[in-house]
Structure 1
Amino acid sequence: MSQAQYPIGTPGQPWGAEERALWRAQQQIKRSYHDEVEAPLQQLAGKFELFQYGELNYPEGNYHLWGAQSHAWNEHLPTVLVTGGVHGYETSGVLGALRFLQSVAADYAGKINLVVLPCVSPWGYETINRWNPEANDPNRSFVKGSGVAEAEAVVNYLAESSLMPVLHIDLHETTDTDNSEFRPALAARNGTVNHNWNIPDGFYTVGDTERDQVDFQAAIIAGVAQVTHIAEADEEGKLIGEPMQQHGVINYPVKSLNLCAGVTDAPYVSTTEVYPDSPRTNPENCIEAQVAAVTAAIDYILAHAD
């Protein structure tokens, strides 16, 4: 789909308030944040300390932003931050964070301090959107003063809590709708020309150009390879237009792009990307891949981090 084909806006002209309002009016609630995220999280209250780190107040509804953390916090243990649902439409990021809490997180009690923010963008989760209601991408907005409420809630929480994680892993997906909807919408919104990328068939990670932990990323790939397939490079040796650093790994300058993975100074950071539209996988397998990525990352830092 080219920019000219997108149904909102005039080619070559960035959206104004009218176009953003039109886009917003076309969005519909398709699933329940309360039923699928909040309710399962509340069931874990006995195992973890649940906390509200923010609230989103939109005409479409109010959303409480929840986190879960270790009950017995020990300042001498490494701290791990797991985030999901920065892009609400990326389902396995949300459900993978919840599944990690439900299934294996308790195994790390007494080994790490754990903080999980399972659904950073609940409106995006309910409407299956990359953007928030104001047509802004939270994952380009993790900096103080961005004006994007979902990202600022995380930024403010981290500042107020003085959290200093050793590891931050951010759970994402790359889907076919990136090319069919979200990249064309982005180009239309910005008044630019859309260029689709090849969607990688399989799991990959995005590391940080400035914190290039080669062995750490390789450990995540090896862990996930036990449950699902790893993306191969395209004919140009790239994934989503970026050069491969090693099997299944590309790098972004995450801090300068204001990505969620750059929101802390953790020495170990990774963004996961699963491909739910592959004929070789299914929703359950994608959730399992996210859990495998988190556990492999934690196991690595327990074995190697100071």
Structure 2
Amino acid sequence: MNTEAAYPIGELGKKWTDGDKEIWFQQQQKKRSYFDEVVTKLDSLNEHFIIEQYGSLLYDAENYPLYALKSLNWLEDKPTILITGGVHGYETSGVQGAIRFLQTAAQPFQEAFNFVVLPCISPWGYETINRWNPLSIDPNRSFYENSPAQESLAVMQFMKTLGLEFMAHIDLHETTDSDNSEFRPALAARDAIEQKSWNIPDGFYLVGDSAKPQALFQKAIIASVEKITHIAPADNDDKLIGVPLAQVGVINYAARELGLCMGLTEAPYVTTTEVYPDSPSADDETCILAQVAVITGALNYLITL
């Protein structure tokens, strides 16, 4: 289905003007609280983690502090793991899954790994349940030099200050039915391009980096997650979201070329999760637990190397 004409903002066949983008922004409303649902939970983690503000976002007179958590018992000879959530603010289980891992599952791995965790990269998107930031920019297509997305730029600047080599980077995401009903039509309208709705996979899947797919690493994560929730089957063309299947539950993207958060570091082991919260076989808690299972499955694999 061509969704180019399915969005009420802009003129068909023409890219959005600044005025169109302002109309879109003015239509967005706060639906939940970043401070109540995210920041307050971080305060309880200071016994085992250093909580550091790495930046802030000022949008429409609202100031959003950006937080990272680092292992308190940091040792230079341990490999370091980067975990990111909420690059797309509307993808709730990515944010809450990162926090839940820190709350319930991180401690047994602290002897083996250092952790850097950015649980909610896009707090405005979290509050308004949006894929884009207020300037109608997708942060997860904006991890490149001189990024136009404040969210992505703040993360990249923070990474430079850390000066660390990471063993792995796990980026926590969701694929929702709203990708077809809202976000892809909006993208088609904004950029005056044709977008075809795809079948949203019913279940969990991973996106690896085509430059370093690490098939055994991805397979170990799938094995961990399938204990919690079902893995998305491929469609009739052996694809997920239009991309050929690399193995069960795994597709690969060119992370750096697409400006994805997954391509942020030189880590040899990287993955992006995709939980499906709209499945009739899942609920919010299952999705959060699936994100935790991703991280623990990855760490249990990495600890054996």
Equivalent residues of 1:12, 1:193 under 8 A apart: no
Q: Find the counterpart in structure 1 of residue 286 from structure 2.
A: 285
Equivalent residues of 1:13, 1:190 under 8 A apart: yes
The aligned runs of 1:106-255 (5 Å cut-off) are 106-255=107-256
State the AA in 2 paired with 1:242. Answer: V
Equivalent residues of 1:144, 1:156 under 8 A apart: no
Equivalent residues of 1:170, 1:261 under 8 A apart: yes
1:229 partner SS = coil
Distance 1:96 1:209 in 2: 25
Distance 1:248 1:5 in 2: 31
Structure 1 residue 74 corresponds to structure 2 residue 96: no
Once the two structures are superposed, residues 60-108 of structure 1 have per-residue CA deviations (whole angstroms, 9 ceiling, x without a partner) of 5110000111001111111000000000000000000000000011111
State the AA in 2 paired with 1:253. Answer: A
Distance 1:224 1:270 in 2: 13
Distance 2:49 2:145 in 1: 28
The aligned runs of 1:11-160 (5 Å cut-off) are 11-160=12-161
Once the two structures are superposed, residues 47-71 of structure 1 have per-residue CA deviations (whole angstroms, 9 ceiling, x without a partner) of 2110011100111511000011100
2:169 partner SS = strand
Distance 2:124 2:213 in 1: 33
State the AA in 2 paired with 1:224. Answer: V
Number of equivalences: 304
Distance 1:112 1:47 in 2: 13
1:141 Cα offset (Å): 0.5
1:2 Cα offset (Å): 2.0
Equivalent residues of 1:207, 1:269 under 8 A apart: yes
Which 4+ residue blocks in structure 1 deviate beyond 2 angstroms?
none
| C-alpha RMSD over aligned residues | 0.8
State the AA in 1 paired with 2:232. Answer: A
1:5 partner SS = coil
1:82 partner SS = strand
Distance 1:252 1:189 in 2: 23
Distance 1:302 1:255 in 2: 26
Q: Find the counterpart in structure 2 of residue 264 from structure 1.
A: 265
Distance 1:103 1:191 in 2: 45
Distance 2:291 2:180 in 1: 22
1:144 Cα offset (Å): 2.3
State the AA in 1 paired with 2:56. Answer: E
Equivalent residues of 1:142, 1:259 under 8 A apart: yes
TM score, norm. by length of structure 2: 0.98
Distance 1:2 1:74 in 2: 51
The range that moved more, 246-255 or 3-12, is 3-12
State the AA in 2 paired with 1:118. Answer: P
Distance 1:109 1:79 in 2: 10
Percent identity among equivalent residues? 56
Q: Find the counterpart in structure 2 of residue 6 from structure 1.
A: 7
Equivalent residues of 1:207, 1:250 under 8 A apart: yes
Distance 2:58 2:134 in 1: 11
TM score, norm. by length of structure 1: 0.98
Distance 1:113 1:230 in 2: 29
Distance 1:55 1:147 in 2: 15
Distance 2:81 2:144 in 1: 20
Distance 1:228 1:280 in 2: 8
Once the two structures are superposed, residues 249-285 of structure 1 have per-residue CA deviations (whole angstroms, 9 ceiling, x without a partner) of 0000101111000000000000000000000000000
